[in-house]
């Protein structure tokens, strides 16, 4: 595989604490009751402007207030509340050592995504970070994957997308890229299978073989 694209949340890092607590903070500032933690885990992946209305209703102004409050906390502390998954560092280093080019494709906004990747012990191995546009209400995985293929000059059959949610798998399939799901993130194996994953890794150690 010449190019491996990795999702960030739920694939490279366990970011549940920072994201969920920032969501709870934002809803609390608006006097809204946050859903249970198990429900909020499902909010990790989609854009905030698509998930906040699930609680706030069809109210664009309140949704924007919630996004702003979320950013208050996430920008100051939430972005640091993550942990790389055990073993993923060795996988990234091994892929880079064998000549696989690496990039991150995430629905996080560019400001947060770039800072988080740079802070990772293995972050320098990623040549580019593709992040969501500010104000987006939709997953842009397919668009970002297409941009990565163009930027790296790699044909779809020589690339793979690795991620934990159906957005990752659907974005890969839309571009004819090998779609590899991971079983340690925030999505279920059923979600990944239903989206059409070509393979699902149970542990990070399985990824190099799936990306060979």
For residue 189, the SS3 value is helix
Domain housing 68: 16-80
- State whether 106 and 188 are in the same domain: yes
Last residue of a domain, one of 80, 100, 130: 80
Same domain, 174 and 196: yes
The token duo for 133 is 């546009």
**Known catalytic residue: 7?**
yes
> Do residue 98 and residue 165 come from a single domain?
yes
- In a shared domain, residues 65 and 106: no
Where do the H-state alpha helices sit in 78-197?
88-97, 110-119, 141-152, 166-174, 189-195
Q: Residue 142 and residue 162: Cα distance in Å, rounded?
A: 13
Residues 63 and 131 in one domain: no
For residues 170 and 200, is the Cβ–Cβ distance under 8 A?
no
CATH of the domain at 198: 3.40.50.1000
Instruction: Please give the pLDDT value at position 47.
Output: 86
Domain count of the chain?
2
Tell me which of 7, 9, 14, 164 is the catalytic residue.
7
| Residue 139 and residue 184 share a domain | yes
Which pLDDT score, from 0 to 100, does residue 137 have? Answer: 59
> What is residue 8's DSSP assignment?
S
* pLDDT given at position 133: 76
Point out the domain boundary residue: 80, 111, 136: 80
Q: Which residues of the chain have pLDDT under 50?
A: none
Instruction: Looking at the structure, tell me whether residues 22 and 69 fall in a common domain.
Output: yes
The backbone torsions φ and ψ at residue 148, rounded to the nearest 5 degrees and listed phi first, read -65, -45
Are residues 100 and 76 both part of a single domain?
Answer: no
Structure-token pair, residue 148: 């990565």
Residues in a beta bridge with 130: 105
Residues 87 and 35 in one domain: no
Same domain assignment for residues 126 and 63:
no
* CATH at residue 58: 1.10.150.240
Predicted local distance difference test score (pLDDT) of residue 45: 83
- Read off the pLDDT of residues 115-141 as tens digits, 9 standing for 90 and up: 999 999 999 999 999 998 776 656 689
Buried b (16+ CB within 10 A) or exposed e, 130-147: bbbeeeeeebbbbbbbbb
pLDDT tens digits, 29-46: 999 999 999 999 999 988
Residue 21 and residue 36: Cα distance in Å, rounded?
A: 12
């Amino acid at each position: 595989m010449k190019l491996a694209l990795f999702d960030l949340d739920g694939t490279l890092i366990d970011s549940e604490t920072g994201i969920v607590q920032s969501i709870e903070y934002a809803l609390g500032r608006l006097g809204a009751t946050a859903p249970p933690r198990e429900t909020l885990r499902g909010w990790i992946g989609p854009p905030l402007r698509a998930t906040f209305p699930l609680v706030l209703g069809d109210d664009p102004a309140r949704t924007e207030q919630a996004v702003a409050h979320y950013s208050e906390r996430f920008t100051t502390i939430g972005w640091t509340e993550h942990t790389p998954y055990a073993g993923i560092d060795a996988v990234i280093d091994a892929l880079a050592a064998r000549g696989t080019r690496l990039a991150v494709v995430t629905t996080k906004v560019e400001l947060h995504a770039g800072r988080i990747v740079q802070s990772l012990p293995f972050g320098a191995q990623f040549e580019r970070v593709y992040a969501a546009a500010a104000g987006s209400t939709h997953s842009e995985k397919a668009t970002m994957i297409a941009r990565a293929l163009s930027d790296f000059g790699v044909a779809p059959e020589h690339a793979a997308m690795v991620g934990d949610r159906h957005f990752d798998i659907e974005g890969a399939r839309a571009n004819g890229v090998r779609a590899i799901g991971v079983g340690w993130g925030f999505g279920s194996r059923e979600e990944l299978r239903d989206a059409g994953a070509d393979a699902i890794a149970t542990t990070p150690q399985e990824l190099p073989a799936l990306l060979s």
